[in-house]
Structure 1
């Protein structure tokens, strides 16, 4: 692999907004002389002040000494004319997300810099191929997509257009690594890796809300605690800003030629149209005004303990939940229920993990009352689980299940009987989208997992998740979701299907199988 940019090479950053300032900060701290330019003169001085403030905070926290901070600041040079970037080894553009603006900048830059200079854009959504289409030497244009705030976030997507030289891509990859970042290679396709693979996290949260599966606070709580995500999807969209999140969704949906997997939500459009953009306007899914109380998730009131609990087969997908039932001392004998996929039989009611079918359908198929439990990353660790009941399930039978779960020290969130529930459908769709990205050659299996862990702080990469839980389960969930809704949205990725039928782990073998099926 090509070595990264030499420390003796200067870096030019064009655009001194939040992202440009962050990139300049990272490059200067890595030892490069940084030339910072913006058409707005005050933007550059503001950027340098923000960098000084950030470095000052790092000194207070003991992350660097004052000499290091002063040295980094001294390497940043403000310029008033773009012609002063001549002689740099790398240009990183970080201006508005407009194709015409970026094309104009790179036309100007090409006329100034030397032929060996690498040209990079920090775009998060615009095609690298389209930006470079009018350049004299598009092979030296690369995407270098940092995440905000650039000094803090580890991930950098190294994005290659159709014309991008592999040597250039490798050099920028190594440069990002030398700058202390975690780089991943990706092709220039809509959303690259992170903004593409993350779409289901928002989409399924919005769909759960639109189907009245639960209230917003309960959906977020389940995703945080059972799914182990840093934030729930609804509170995360409030943080990002609904105008920004909706615009990205619309962009990816349009670029994917209206693929229904990426369809925007009417609920989110209403928020945008009403100016309820989230935290920045004081209201989104939640009220952020001064003195407003944050709603608590809905939980079932305390129910009586059940009289009879029998575990299901040892091969059950809810083995860790079975352990909690044992630890709670609820078993009256060692007898087990033989019915497949049953976690436990509690006062005659089957407790089962969702597989994408509704509780009502499963009850109809097996002729028994059924309560479903939503997916949890770790049933031993989580304090909250979601449950849904079949129409056939009487109130006393349902209360017996609730009582048993409460004796396991779970807070029980009641959910409407909807296919896939909340956490399971979301994780299955994340696994599916990651599989498609690899299958379509956007990135490697290793890079999609790394990107989602480092770019959006997922608890585990989607393909690692599939291997850990079982490819077969997620594949079954998707097949059942598609049958239930009759929508292309839930079609299973060919790569996921290949690994399900081949009974092979997907993270370590995805590259091999993708090549064989190409």
Structure 2
């Protein structure tokens, strides 16, 4: 869509890490950039650091001296806000306080021309609320970069209640011209990424609170399922204080919606000053920036000579190929998909604990894997009715298939499938409320937090009906609305069955 907005000069307010990163992105795209900070010394430091980084790249042969000089020359400091008057786009990257942002943008309205777009890099404050203090809120939008801005591909373009389609489309086109993956969202708490990512942290933190396993064990399981980092190590990297503050902000913004309730486990770390890597202690203890690692896999077991396979396992990718590795006798019978190993019934988790699903019987729950043949770890939830000998037999069976085995308590829904279900459910709710399109949600989660798949597409692969059943069971088991399935997820499940 064509636009009458033309962006030549870009102004960035705030010379911190994020503001300087945004200035660099704009300059690399060929724009003249004006950088302003209320503290001129901070602007000077930011530009000096930028010049040093450019010099380092030149020394390493990554950039020519001519290109480095030209790039540095495109960014000029401003000592007064009035010097931003000739800008076509102003991007604010300052403290996350509504009153300060409102005051700043109200002042900018009197400085910048009518065809200047005003944008906030806020990650959590409502664009609609910021715009409420303006006489022309229609030219205000969110332009949310992810840190570090020159590296991270995703940019969320956020429309407030008054933002025009012209402003929205101009920013989407501009961000794409800057080499970014631009997605659009309406101004709701957390926008896309910071909203939909909440369950990724929340389900691991809840598993910790319920004694499901150590941080390292749970992180290992999530990494083996394709996530780049487990929730514990990721929140240590982000900062427990920062992650807890975002969770608390989203929770309050949604009027105490149970899905976003912050974790007491994380609050304890924050109260203790254990913020993660930056303090040397979080879920992990850090020495020289590295966390201590300990062995996690279950001890060696003894594989049985015979295993009974019930039902059809072809719906689970790689499962039949994995079973084909077994050197013992495989007997097959009709029935609901399950493995019978030394008297233990092993079946995919369904959102109920084994003790509730099979009272008094030896049973184990198998957690989800996108491909059972290629996954490195197999996670099993062990019922209290299993003997040590039976556990050793099941462990030995999977070890004989070249898998490392992670043993968990009888945790409803386990961890991987439960987390995927909650991510998909959150994406479904965002679609239902028209926060963003399914396509933009998937792009945002892949490029904003490096998920192996977008949650909407992932849900289609796992099966919306399977995830709906798991959430319904979790809701019944816990008696909590936290696990209430989205109406949109129910619709997707019905549509899936109709195909």
Q: Same fold (TM over 0.5)?
A: yes
- 1:304 maps to 302
| In the alignment, structure 1 residue 252 sits paired with structure 2 residue 250 | yes
TM-superposed CA distance for 1:392, in Å, is 2.6
| In the alignment, structure 1 residue 363 sits paired with structure 2 residue 358 | yes
TM-score normalised by L of structure 2 = 0.96
| In the alignment, structure 1 residue 353 sits paired with structure 2 residue 352 | no
| Superimposed CA distance per residue, residues 64-83 of structure 1 (whole angstroms, 9 cap, x where no aligned partner) | 43332321111101111111
The answer on whether the counterparts of 1:238 and 1:277 sit within 8 Å (CA) in structure 2 is yes
| Superimposed CA distance per residue, residues 89-143 of structure 1 (whole angstroms, 9 cap, x where no aligned partner) | 1000110001111111111111111000000000000000110101111000000
- 1:239 maps to 237
Deviates more, 1:293-302 or 1:255-264: 293-302
Give 1:2-151 correspondences, 5 Å limit: 2=2, 6=6, 9-59=8-58, 64-151=63-150
The answer on whether the counterparts of 1:218 and 1:296 sit within 8 Å (CA) in structure 2 is no
TM-superposed CA distance for 1:501, in Å, is 1.9
Question: How large is the Cα RMSD of the aligned pairs?
Answer: 1.9
- 2:336 maps to 340
Q: In structure 1, the residue corresponding to 2:251 is in which secondary structure?
A: helix
Give 1:163-312 correspondences, 5 Å limit: 163-225=162-224, 227-290=225-288, 294-296=292-294, 298-312=296-310
The answer on whether the counterparts of 1:4 and 1:174 sit within 8 Å (CA) in structure 2 is no
The answer on whether the counterparts of 1:215 and 1:297 sit within 8 Å (CA) in structure 2 is no
How far, CA to CA, are the matches of 2:163 and 2:439 in structure 1?
22
Structure 2 CA distance for partners of 1:386 and 1:292, relative to 1, 3 Å: same
The answer on whether the counterparts of 2:3 and 2:166 sit within 8 Å (CA) in structure 1 is no
The answer on whether the counterparts of 2:200 and 2:419 sit within 8 Å (CA) in structure 1 is yes
How far, CA to CA, are the matches of 1:2 and 1:44 in structure 2?
35
How far, CA to CA, are the matches of 2:113 and 2:474 in structure 1?
55
Structure 2 CA distance for partners of 1:262 and 1:60, relative to 1, 3 Å: farther
Q: In structure 2, the residue corresponding to 1:357 is in which secondary structure?
A: coil
Structure 2 CA distance for partners of 1:217 and 1:4, relative to 1, 3 Å: farther
TM-superposed CA distance for 1:317, in Å, is 4.3
Q: In structure 1, the residue corresponding to 2:166 is in which secondary structure?
A: helix
How far, CA to CA, are the matches of 1:243 and 1:213 in structure 2?
23
- 2:451 maps to 458
The answer on whether the counterparts of 1:5 and 1:175 sit within 8 Å (CA) in structure 2 is no
Q: In structure 2, the residue corresponding to 1:50 is in which secondary structure?
A: helix
How far, CA to CA, are the matches of 2:319 and 2:55 in structure 1?
48
| In the alignment, structure 1 residue 448 sits paired with structure 2 residue 447 | no
TM-superposed CA distance for 1:6, in Å, is 4.3
| Superimposed CA distance per residue, residues 228-273 of structure 1 (whole angstroms, 9 cap, x where no aligned partner) | 1010000100000011101101100000000010001111111111
Runs (5+) with no aligned partner, structure 1: 507-518
Structure 2 CA distance for partners of 1:450 and 1:346, relative to 1, 3 Å: same
Q: In structure 1, the residue corresponding to 2:155 is in which secondary structure?
A: strand
Structure 2 CA distance for partners of 1:172 and 1:395, relative to 1, 3 Å: same
Alignment: residue pair count: 499
Runs (5+) with no aligned partner, structure 2: none
474, 487, 494: which one pairs with 2:480? 487
The answer on whether the counterparts of 1:218 and 1:297 sit within 8 Å (CA) in structure 2 is no
Structure 2 CA distance for partners of 1:466 and 1:96, relative to 1, 3 Å: same
| Superimposed CA distance per residue, residues 371-407 of structure 1 (whole angstroms, 9 cap, x where no aligned partner) | 1111122222221121112223232222211100111
Q: In structure 2, the residue corresponding to 1:271 is in which secondary structure?
A: helix
Q: In structure 1, the residue corresponding to 2:346 is in which secondary structure?
A: strand
How far, CA to CA, are the matches of 1:53 and 1:325 in structure 2?
57
TM-superposed CA distance for 1:310, in Å, is 2.9
How far, CA to CA, are the matches of 2:62 and 2:490 in structure 1?
47
